[in-house]
């Protein structure tokens, strides 16, 4: 945990510097404006567009340094913790659950939300949760069906359907 | 006396079967829409606005359609707390602060207490604000107008200060969290200059900004769930839940302990609600912060304090009524939902503004009467449904977790209807999980991304007005004291730190 604390502080410090740099960028339509011209008060216009994000990012950088000092002086709980940042279970869980979520999102582009919900629930309930096939299929079928009637039919919020789009046309004809 | 007579007459009209029926249907629809992550009162009101023309044709006036939409608005405010408490995902932005303590209460087996507290605090907040509305509408509208840009910025500063000045969390991490929320709120087009800002890696998805719900659902839906899975290691059930009616009754009696949070939320929420461009979300977050800072037990906040549930819930209901005040008396909507209601009023042939109370008393007083009735209807329906909400918590966690993930993903898409936001939400969720392991508080970042888009333009307009002179925040009679209090709260932890260091060095020398 101690190493993770300082590594995170350094990453956040670099992020703060990047945000400061990015905040001072000149407008795309006028690259001749010098960088950081927008971070102060502009005559007749008040604070420039980079004023607010630049100085906030500077405070973030200051906080990152403060966190680093606390780490060096061992005054924050994570800086003295001997626990691992993520144990074996945590790493495996993150891979399975996080991987499942990113897989869900990738599937949305192929089979749409309803197909992805079905596949994700099968994966999670059957393979991670070890539920029976009957229970898994009941939930995996009911959730997309209820979602379709709530979002597409009742709320008129059309969710992406990917390559399964033709299957939904008869349902639209029937219910809309 | 005229007001009392007009109000009683209005209540009688609101109690007519058609209006009462519409209020009940509206509250149920609002509860459902409010409880669904990604959808809020604005969705319900906007989607059902066309339906009100049917009602108008049937009843022949604007009163019944408005009662229906106002009931949806009320119901959604009650409903937002349900998913915040039971699932840990804010049903709407107005219920984010309810998650801070509602969720820990649910995890400790006191979901019934959290839900009852939320319902009763919402009832008190809604009723108190309606009383304010009834008695002082024109005066309060003029007070709201006296709040210019410096005053509103000072108020936003106070909101941030309540989260910094408590000293409970790690101070640099808390400040970092607030600042990163404020910076992320600036992503997209600058509304003052029109320049694109912080478009990371020139990805076009960032041009429309990082939306509040992307951060809120990412942090509380995805991040919180991964955290719970990591710490609970898939326990059989989420929490122990007692569905007996006697437990609900006990929780109703326990509500008296939440009087402080309810009082703060009811008054502050109404006041923030009536301010132009503020609304229920800042109202609930600020009330939470003030309730925490004035509490005898601030250390309990974030771990399951009933005041931490009562304050934001009383506030969001109170603010929702407050936001109707400038809409009706000045024609200025205080929130997106009241903007839709305002549009409805214009379509129904009404003229919102200072003369509405004089020219349209047949519309105004039954509507105010319906606020009282809708509150009773909403609290009764909400408490009656609590066993059903609690039942959700009895599901095995290996069923509940994927359902929460699905709700988070679908809810984010439904809110903004683009996949970029859904991807971003998952990435934010995973990042929030890592930061949480290292004790970075994420709640201040969520607060900041709500208040940032209000605070920044107010700061810039104030400085433009004062020609870059920061003393504008100290010299005006309302902004001055608020700014000073905010700065004291911000620097309080630093003073404490220096004092402790001095004491330690003195003790060392002795």
What ipTM does this complex have?
0.93
Q: Reduced to 3 states, what is the DSSP secondary structure of residue B55?
A: helix
Q: Left, alpha or beta for A44 (phi > 0: left; psi -120 to 50: alpha)?
A: left
Q: For chain A, say whether B257 makes contact (Cβ under 8 Å).
A: no
Local confidence pLDDT in tens for the 510 residues of chain B: 577 888 888 888 888 898 899 999 999 888 888 887 767 777 778 777 777 877 887 777 788 888 888 888 888 888 888 888 888 877 677 888 898 899 888 888 888 889 999 999 999 999 999 998 888 776 776 777 778 889 888 888 887 777 765 445 678 898 899 899 999 999 998 888 888 898 988 888 899 889 877 888 888 888 888 988 888 776 544 555 565 777 778 888 888 888 999 999 999 988 888 876 667 788 888 898 889 888 888 888 888 899 999 999 999 999 888 888 877 877 777 667 777 888 788 777 887 776 777 778 888 888 888 888 888 888 998 888 888 877 776 778 888 889 989 988 998 898 888 899 999 999 999 999 999 899 888 878 877 887 788 889 889 999 988 888 899 999 999 899 989 988 888 887 777 767 776 787 777 666
Q: What is the pLDDT of residues A26-79, one digit of tens each?
A: 887 777 888 888 888 887 778 888 999 999 999 999 999 999 999 998 888 888
Nearest Cβ partner for B179 among A59, A67, A108: A59
Which residues from B are below 8 Å from A86, CB to CB? 230, 437
Q: For chain A, say whether B384 makes contact (Cβ under 8 Å).
A: no
Nearest Cβ partner for A76 among B170, B410, B459: B170
Q: Please tell me what DSSP assigns to residue A160.
A: P
Q: For chain B, say whether A17 makes contact (Cβ under 8 Å).
A: no
Question: Does A46 sit within 8 Å of B175, measured CB to CB?
Answer: no
Question: Does B39 sit within 8 Å of A155, measured CB to CB?
Answer: yes
Which residues from A are below 8 Å from B183, CB to CB? 19, 53, 56-57, 60
Q: For chain A, say whether B25 makes contact (Cβ under 8 Å).
A: no
Question: Contacts from A108-112 at CB under 8 Å and sequence distance 24+?
Answer: A108/A160, A108/A162, A108/B419, A108/B422, A109/A160, A109/A162, A109/B419, A110/A162, A110/A163, A111/A162, A111/A163, A111/A164, A112/A159, A112/A160, A112/A161, A112/A162, A112/A163, A112/A164, A112/A165
Q: What is the pLDDT of residue B286?
A: 84
Suggest the residue from B29, B38, B183, B404 to mutate for an interface test with chain A (most A CBs closer than 10 A): B183
CB B430 within 8 A of CB A171: no
Q: Reduced to 3 states, what is the DSSP secondary structure of residue B468?
A: coil
Q: What is the pLDDT of residues A64-120, one digit of tens each?
A: 999 999 999 888 888 888 888 888 988 999 999 999 999 999 999 999 999 999 999
Q: What is the pLDDT of residue B165?
A: 55
Which residues from A are below 8 Å from B396, CB to CB? 129, 131
Question: Does A63 sit within 8 Å of B176, measured CB to CB?
Answer: yes
CB B401 within 8 A of CB B226: no
Question: Does B398 sit within 8 Å of A52, measured CB to CB?
Answer: no
Token pair listed for B332 = 């200025």
């Amino acid at each position: 945990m101690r190493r993770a604390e300082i590594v995170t502080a350094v990453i956040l410090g670099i992020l703060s510097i990047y945000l400061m740099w990015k905040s001072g960028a000149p407008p795309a339509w006028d690259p001749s404006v010098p960088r950081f011209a927008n971070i102060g008060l502009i005559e007749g216009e008040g604070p420039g567009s980079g004023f607010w994000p630049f100085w906030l990012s500077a405070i973030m950088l200051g906080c990152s340094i403060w966190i680093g000092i606390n780490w060096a002086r061992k005054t924050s709980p994570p800086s003295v913790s001997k626990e691992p940042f993520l144990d074996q279970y945590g790493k495996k869980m993150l891979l399975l659950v996080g991987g499942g979520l990113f897989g869900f999102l990738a599937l949305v582009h192929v089979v749409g939300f309803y197909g992805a919900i079905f596949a994700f629930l099968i994966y999670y309930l059957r393979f991670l949760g070890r539920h029976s096939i009957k229970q898994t299929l009941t939930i995996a079928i009911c959730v997309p069906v209820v979602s379709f009637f709530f979002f597409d039919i009742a709320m008129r919020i059309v969710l992406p359907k990917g390559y399964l789009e033709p299957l939904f046309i008869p349902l639209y004809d029937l219910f809309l | 006396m005229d007001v009392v007579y007009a109000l009683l007459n209005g209540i009688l009209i609101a109690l007519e079967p058609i209006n009462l029926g519409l209020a009940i249907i509206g509250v149920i629809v609002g509860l459902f829409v409010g409880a669904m992550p990604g959808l809020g009162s604005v969705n319900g009101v906007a989607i059902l606005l066309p339906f009100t023309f049917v009602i108008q044709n049937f009843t022949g006036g604007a009163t019944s359609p408005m009662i229906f939409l106002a009931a949806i608005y009320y119901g959604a405010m009650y409903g937002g707390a349900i998913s915040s408490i039971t699932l840990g995902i804010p049903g709407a932005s107005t219920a984010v602060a309810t998650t801070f303590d509602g969720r820990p209460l649910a995890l400790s087996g006191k979901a019934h207490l959290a839900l009852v507290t939320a319902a009763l605090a919402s009832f008190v907040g809604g009723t108190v604000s309606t009383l304010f509305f009834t008695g002082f509408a024109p005066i309060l509208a003029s007070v709201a107008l006296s709040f210019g840009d410096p005053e509103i910025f000072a108020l936003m500063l106070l909101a941030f200060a309540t989260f910094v000045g408590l000293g409970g969390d790690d101070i640099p991490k808390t400040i970092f969290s607030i600042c990163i929320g404020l910076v992320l709120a600036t992503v997209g087009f600058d509304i003052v200059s029109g320049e694109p800002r912080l478009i990371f890696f020139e990805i076009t998805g960032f041009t429309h900004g990082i939306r509040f719900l992307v951060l809120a659902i990412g942090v509380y839906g995805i991040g919180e769930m991964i955290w719970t899975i990591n710490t609970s290691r898939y326990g059989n059930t989420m929490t122990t839940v007692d569905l007996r009616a006697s437990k609900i009754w006990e929780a109703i009696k326990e509500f008296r302990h939440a009087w402080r949070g309810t009082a703060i939320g009811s008054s502050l929420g109404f006041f923030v609600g009536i301010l132009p461009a503020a609304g229920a979300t800042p109202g609930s977050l600020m009330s939470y912060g003030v309730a925490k800072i004035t509490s005898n037990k601030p250390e309990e906040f974030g771990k399951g304090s009933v005041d931490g549930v009562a304050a934001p819930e009383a506030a969001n209901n109170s603010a929702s009524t407050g936001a109707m005040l400038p809409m009706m008396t000045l024609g200025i909507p205080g929130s997106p939902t009241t903007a839709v209601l305002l549009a409805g009023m214009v379509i129904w042939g009404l003229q919102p503004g200072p003369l509405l109370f004089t020219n349209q008393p047949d519309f105004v007083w039954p509507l105010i009467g319906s606020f009282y009735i809708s509150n009773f209807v909403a609290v009764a329906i909400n408490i009656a449904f609590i066993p059903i909400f609690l039942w959700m918590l009895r599901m095995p966690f290996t069923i509940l977790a994927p359902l929460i993930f699905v709700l988070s993903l679908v809810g984010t898409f439904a809110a903004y209807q683009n996949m970029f936001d859904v991807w971003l939400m998952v990435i934010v969720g995973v990042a929030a999980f890592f930061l949480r392991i290292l004790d970075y508080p994420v709640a201040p970042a969520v607060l900041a991304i709500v208040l940032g888009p209000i605070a920044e333009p107010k700061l810039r307009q104030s400085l433009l007005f004062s020609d870059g002179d920061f003393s504008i925040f100290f010299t005006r009679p309302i902004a001055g004291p608020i700014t000073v209090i905010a700065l004291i709260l911000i620097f309080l932890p630093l003073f404490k730190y220096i004092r402790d260091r001095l004491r330690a060095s003195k003790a060392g020398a002795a």
